[in-house]
A and B are shown apart, each in its own frame.
Chain A
Amino acid sequence: MTISFASGKGGAGKTFLSAHSLDFFLKKGTKVALADLDVEEPNSKIFFDIEDLSKKEAFAYVPEFIKENCTECNRCLGLCKFNAFTKLPGSAIIFKQMCHDCGLCYYACKNGAIVRTKMRIGEVKSYNYNGAKIFEGLLDIGMEQGVVLIKQVKKEALAEELELLIQDSAPGTSCSFVETISESDITFMSIEDSPMGIHDGEIAIKVLEEMKKDFYIIINKDIESNYSQGFRKKFNEKIIATIPEKKEIASRYAEKKLSPEDADIKKAMNEIFSIVEKKRGEKK
């Protein structure tokens, strides 16, 4: 069973809720792991007293042009939909970071002039926290193949014998978010009570609806603002908890400390726990 935390807007509480969930499920005795899929800036681990377990290089596959083999047949001309491979008279230009590894250029070339080669894009790391594993992907600077790395982190985490995998998504609604939620059983949306939190959150919810994914909403940093009233009404039955904006929680968070004893967080965690348990019951 896999659950994800996402938000649309950055800084709305994805990592905050995923870290609290890891702690909560672990205390409940669930065989749980956390996968930090925000591969451009993974930081879930900073809240835990961890030890290093493993570190593996991650690779993507990109084309390389072998000029000596090229017969200028131009079958590859204009094929690349991502403009990663551009054929020019007598040569070719490859922007490796733009390649999606669709394989079309290798297929088009019958002369061995375009070959699939390995390129390092980052690392998959794992850590131990009180018997639970924390996985993270760390994309190398300048690389754009976040999705490839996210897939590898997921694969690594799902190779474990788990009852529950908690995924911390990247912000936004682009490919990284879609890849994160694609095989997730439930997505918990952390919606910050701010104009941007509501705006970006609603876009992410549209994606979830379009993908027919099961999702629930937690209003975070709740100040009961006027601008969030419409949103609350619209998604009333999806909202399972609200966490008020509190200085104590923020101060502790700034010191890399969680607040598992806070009554509102506890309540939110209990809601998440019972939804997960219910779904696990249905899956069996």
Chain B
Amino acid sequence: MIVLTAFENNLESKLDPRFGRASGFILVDQETNNHSWLENSQNINSAHGAGIQAASNVVQNGGKVLITGAIGPKAFMVLNEAKVEIFTGDTSKSVAENIEDFKANRLTKVSSATTVGLG
């Protein structure tokens, strides 16, 4: 399952640059190419731990690859422990375009947190 941060449940949505506080996640099944939506609104206003919670949700929903804008240190630790591969997507492009870039090996793999968490 490929997971991408998005503003809305639509492959034409731009990639959401936020991870823990993204509007939601688009889950793409690599075998069938079907996609579904995982809401994240419950995390947007949480006082802290949004990244951890979002990472946990990605893992529970079978995510193996994550494409997003920036990732904080705690979320990175959770995803790394669960062996989810993280890639930095292009936030000026759509979710669909980012999937194409991923398939063509044009995205950079993230090997450590790319932003400072908010706590």
Contact = CB atoms under 8 A, between A and B. Distances in A.
A82 B49 contact: yes
A86 B48 contact: no
Contacts of B56: 78, 83, 86-88
Given A78-B56, A95-B74, A88 B81 contact: yes
Contact of A88 (B49, B53, B74, B78): B78
B59 interface: yes
Given A83-B49, A83-B52, A86-B56, 15 more contacts: A82-B49, A83-B53, A83-B56, A83-B74, A86-B55, A88-B59, A88-B81, A88-B82, A89-B59, A89-B82, A93-B77, A93-B78, A95-B49, A95-B74, A98-B49
29 contacts: A77-B60, A78-B56, A78-B60, A82-B48, A82-B49, A83-B49, A83-B52, A83-B53, A83-B56, A83-B74, A84-B49, A86-B52, A86-B55, A86-B56, A86-B78, A87-B56, A88-B56, A88-B59, A88-B78, A88-B81, A88-B82, A89-B59, A89-B82, A91-B82, A93-B77, A93-B78, A95-B52, A95-B74, A98-B48
Contacts of A82: 48-49
Interface in A33-91: 77-78, 82-84, 86-89, 91
A86 B7 CA distance: 26
A88 B56 CA distance: 7
* For the complex of A and B, 3 pairs with smallest distance between CB atoms: A83-B49, A83-B52, A88-B82
Interface of A: 77-78, 82-84, 86-89, 91, 93, 95, 98
A78 B49 CA distance: 12
B48 A83 contact: yes
Contacts of A83: 48-49, 52-53, 56, 74
A86 B55 CA distance: 10
Contacts of A95: 49, 52, 74
User: Which DSSP category, helix, strand, loop or mixed, fits chain B's interface?
Assistant: helix
Contacts, number: 35
A136 to B, nearest CB: 25
A87 B82 CA distance: 10
A40 to B, nearest CB: 14
A98 B46 CA distance: 14
Interface string B39-62: 000000000110011011001100
Nearest to A86: B56
A227 to B, nearest CB: 30
Contacts of B74: 83, 95
Of the listed residues B56, B59, B77, the one surrounded by the most CB atoms of chain A closer than 10 A to its CB is B56
A93 B53 CA distance: 12
A77 B60 CA distance: 10
B64 to A, nearest CB: 12
Contacts of A78: 56, 60
Contacts of B81: 88, 91, 93
Contacts of B78: 86, 88, 93
A83 B74 CA distance: 10
Contacts of A86: 52, 55-56, 78
A54 to B, nearest CB: 33
A234 to B, nearest CB: 29
A89 B60 CA distance: 8
Contacts of B52: 83, 86, 93, 95
